[in-house]
C-alpha cells in the first residue's frame, strides 16, 4: 500500500511541475453556458484530474470546466480522513455555486468527482442552501462507503447521481479503504468498487430511482478504462462515457443504459445549454 501512496504523491508533484496548473477551460464564453466542477482525488491537482477536464472538453462539453483542489498538498492520507475539514471545504464550494447561480441564472451546473473527490461532490451538494440545486453529480471511483446515505445529495440534484464503479479496483478502493478508511471514516470496500447499497423500501424509491450505478464493462477497455482506480479518468473514457452525461439536460434509465453501453445514439448532438436558456 505504501507504494501506491508514493505513486499518488508523485502524480501530484508531476501535476505541479508538468504545467497542469491553470484553468484553460474557464472562459467568459464557457461560463455563460454552464459550469462543471471537477473535484480532485486526495492527491490534489495532478494529471488524473487534468485528464478528466481534457476528456470533457474533447467530448464537446461547452461549459466552463474547472478543477477543484480541496486538499492540503503532500498529505494524501490526511486528506482522506480529515472529514470535518473536508466538509468545511465543501461548504465553501457550495457558496461558490450559489454565487455562480446568481450571476448566471438557469445555467447548468454539474459536479464530477474522482476518488475522494466523489465524496466532496456529494458533500458540496448536501451543503447547498435550502432550495438550491445542481444539475447532476457524476462519481468516478468514489471513496465513500457503500452504505453512505445519498438521499440529501439526490434531493439537491435535478438529474440525480451517477456512480461509476469497478470490482477490479482492489488496491485503492478495496484494500486501501479497508485499511485506511473511506472519506466518511468506514473501513470497508468503497462504493466506487462495489456500488452503493440503496434502500429498497417504498418510501425511498422516489430518490433511489435517481441514483444510477454503472459497473465497469470489458468493452470500456477500448476507451482506456480497464477497471482500475486511475484508468476511470482516461481522457478517451471520459469523452465517450462521462461527457454525454454532462451534456444531457436530463437523465433517465434508458439514457443511462445507452451511455453505459457506449451507444453513440445515446449522446447528444445539440448544445444542452440552449435547452436551459428556454426556461
Strands 109-114 and 211-215: what pairing? unpaired
Residue pointed to by grid coordinates 498538498? 73
Q: Residue 215: phi, psi to the nearest 5? A: -75, 160
Q: What mean pLDDT comes out for the span 44-57?
A: 97
Q: Residue 167: phi, psi to the nearest 5? A: -65, -15
User: Does residue 42 have a pLDDT over 80?
Assistant: yes
pLDDT tens-digit series, residues 3-27: 444 334 333 333 332 333 478 999 9
| 271 vs 225, more confident | 225
Strands 109-114 and 35-39: what pairing? parallel
| 205 vs 247, more confident | 247
pTM across the whole model: 0.89
Q: Three-state DSSP class for 161?
A: strand
Lowest mean pLDDT of 9-18, 28-37, 185-194, name the range. 9-18
User: Does residue 121 have a pLDDT over 50?
Assistant: yes
User: Does residue 151 have a pLDDT over 80?
Assistant: yes
pLDDT tens-digit series, residues 84-98: 999 999 999 999 999
Second-level CATH architecture of 2-277: 3-Layer(aba) Sandwich (3.40)
- Give the integer Cα–Cα distance in Å for 184 and 197: 15
Which DSSP letter does residue 72 get? P
How does residue 204 score in pLDDT terms, banded at 50, 70 and 90? confident
Q: What mean pLDDT comes out for the span 36-51?
A: 97
Lowest mean pLDDT of 3-12, 118-127, 144-153, 154-163, name the range. 3-12
**pLDDT > 70: what percent of the chain?**
86
Q: What mean pLDDT comes out for the span 219-226?
A: 98
Q: Are 130 and 153 in contact (CB under 8 A)?
A: no
Q: What mean pLDDT comes out for the span 161-179?
A: 98
Q: Three-state DSSP class for 110?
A: strand
- Give the integer Cα–Cα distance in Å for 225 and 238: 9
How does residue 263 score in pLDDT terms, banded at 50, 70 and 90? confident
Q: What mean pLDDT comes out for the span 180-203?
A: 94
How does residue 202 score in pLDDT terms, banded at 50, 70 and 90? low
Q: What mean pLDDT comes out for the span 222-250?
A: 98
Q: What mean pLDDT comes out for the span 102-115?
A: 97
Note the pLDDT of residue 5.
40
Amino acid at each position: 500500500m505504501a507504494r501506491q501512496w508514493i505513486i499518488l504523491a508523485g502524480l501530484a508533484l508531476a501535476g505541479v511541475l508538468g504545467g497542469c496548473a491553470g484553468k484553460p477551460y474557464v472562459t467568459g464564453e464557457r461560463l455563460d453556458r454552464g459550469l462543471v466542477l471537477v473535484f480532485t482525488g486526495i492527491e490534489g491537482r495532478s494529471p488524473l484530474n487534468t485528464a478528466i477536464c481534457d476528456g470533457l472538453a474533447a467530448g464537446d462539453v461547452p461549459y466552463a470546466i474547472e478543477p477543484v483542489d480541496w486538499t492540503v498538498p503532500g498529505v494524501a492520507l490526511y486528506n482522506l480522513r480529515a472529514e470535518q475539514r473536508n466538509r468545511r471545504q465543501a461548504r465553501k464550494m457550495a457558496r461558490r455555486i450559489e454565487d455562480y447561480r446568481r450571476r448566471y441564472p438557469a445555467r447548468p451546473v454539474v459536479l464530477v468527482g474522482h476518488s475522494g473527490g466523489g465524496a466532496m461532490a456529494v458533500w458540496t451538494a448536501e451543503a447547498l442552501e435550502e432550495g438550491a440545486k445542481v444539475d447532476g453529480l457524476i462519481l468516478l471511483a468514489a471513496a465513500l462507503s457503500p452504505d453512505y446515505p445519498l438521499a440529501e445529495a439526490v434531493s439537491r440534484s435535478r438529474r440525480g447521481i451517477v456512480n461509476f464503479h469497478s470490482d477490479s479496483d482492489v488496491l485503492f478502493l478495496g484494500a486501501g479503504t479497508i485499511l485506511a478508511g473511506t472519506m466518511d471514516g468506514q473501513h470497508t470496500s468503497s462504493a466506487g468498487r462495489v456500488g452503493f447499497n440503496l434502500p429498497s423500501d417504498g418510501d425511498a424509491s422516489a430518490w433511489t430511482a435517481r441514483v444510477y450505478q454503472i459497473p465497469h464493462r470489458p468493452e470500456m477497455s477500448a476507451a482506456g478504462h480497464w477497471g482500475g482506480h486511475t484508468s476511470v479518468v482516461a481522457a478517451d473514457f471520459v469523452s465517450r462515457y462521462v461527457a454525454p452525461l454532462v451534456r444531457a439536460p436530463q437523465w433517465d434509465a434508458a439514457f443511462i443504459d445507452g451511455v453505459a453501453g457506449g451507444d453513440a445514439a445515446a449522446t447528444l448532438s445539440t448544445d444542452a445549454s440552449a435547452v436551459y436558456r428556454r426556461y
